[in-house]
Amino acid sequence: MKRSICFSLMSLAGLLLLASTSANAADTVYTYTGSPQLGDVGGYTKTELSLKRGSKTEKIPANDIERVRWDGEPPQLNIARNQEQNGNYTAALEEYKKAQAGASENLKKDLLFMIARANLKKAQANPAELDAAIKMLDDFIKGNPDHFRYYPAEKLLGEAYLAKKDFVNANSSFGKVERSPWKNYQMDAKNMKARVLLAQGNTKGALDAFNAVAKMDGKTEGELASKRAAQLGSALCLEKEGKPQEAIKLLDDMIKNVSSQQKALLAEAYIKKGDCYQAMGESKEALIAYLHVDVLFPSEPALHAEALYHLSNLWGKVQQQERGAEARAILKQQYPESEWAQKASGS
Q: Taking residues 131-158, report their average pLDDT.
A: 98
Cβ 158 vs Cβ 177: under 8 Å:
yes
If we measure between CA atoms, which residue out of 276, 329, 273, 263 comes closest to residue 302?
A: 263
Whole-model pTM: value is 0.88
| Torsion region of 259: left, alpha or beta (phi above 0 gives left; psi -120 to 50 gives alpha) | beta
DSSP H helical segments within the chain, as ranges?
A: 2-24, 76-85, 89-99, 105-123, 130-143, 150-163, 167-178, 183-199, 203-214, 221-240, 244-257, 263-279, 283-296, 301-314, 321-334, 339-346
Q: What is the pLDDT of residues 324-341, one digit of tens each?
A: 999 999 999 999 988 999
Q: Is the pLDDT of residue 10 over 90?
A: no
Q: What pLDDT, on a 0 to 100 scale, did the predictor assign at position 12?
A: 44
Mean pLDDT of all residues in 182-210? 98
Mean pLDDT of 177-195: 98
Mean pLDDT of the region 132-161: 98
87 phi-psi bin (left φ>0, alpha ψ -120 to 50, beta other): left
Q: How far apart are CA 64 and CA 47, in angstroms?
A: 10
How many residues comprise the chain?
A: 347
Angstrom distance (rounded) from CA 42 to CA 52: 6
- pLDDT category at 345 given cuts 50, 70, 90 is confident
Query: What pLDDT is attached to residue 1?
Result: 42
Q: Give the dihedral sign, CA 145/148/152/153.
A: negative
Position 111 pLDDT exceeds 90: yes
